[in-house]
Amino acid sequence: MSQPTLLSKKQVSTLAIIAKKAWSRLQSQGAIDESFNEWRHRTAQERIGCTLSQAHWDDFDPLFILWKMIAGETDAAFKRALSKMSNTQRTLCFRINANLEKANLSLGYAIKCARDAHYLQPDESEIEGLTPRQLTNLSYTIARAAGRKIKAA
């Protein structure tokens, strides 16, 4: 059996740039006191179990999504995550996103709703990992909130 392929230099470079944006955002908020390299190695180790230089092709998406979310680029992270879901999950996430946009609500609102319903732990922020049933319930919650907000306007 062949060995998994390591990330290409371009993929590593792309992830390093995203990680730098994420680290800079946390640094500017005073949320971390580690150097960039220490933080990048620690977060990669926690997420995929190895450093960026040891990462394989299937490690690209988890790191991309994590660091985009931390960098505040939730739309890019959300779109990347959607590409990895089942059709049912993808449809429900698109419905959630459409209702968020219609009512001018952020993805953070959906994450808060998912946490309030105990679908996500307080430190989690990735709704793409929810089950179809959880996504369905979250979709209804967001649709009701969007309807109330639009009606009140």
Rounded to two decimals, what is the model's pTM? 0.59
The whole-angstrom separation of Cα 61 and Cα 84 is 9
pLDDT at 1 over 70: no
For residues 35 and 33, what is the distance between their CA atoms, to the nearest angstrom? 7
pLDDT at 2: 62
Q: Express each pLDDT in 3-16 by its tens digit.
A: 779 999 999 999 99
Sequence-separated contacts (24+) of 30-33 with Cβ below 8 Å: none
Is residue 40 over pLDDT 90? yes
Residue 142: pLDDT band by 50, 70, 90 thresholds?
very high
Residue 114 predicted with pLDDT over 70? yes
Q: What is the DSSP string of 113-129?
A: HHHHTTSS-TT---GGG
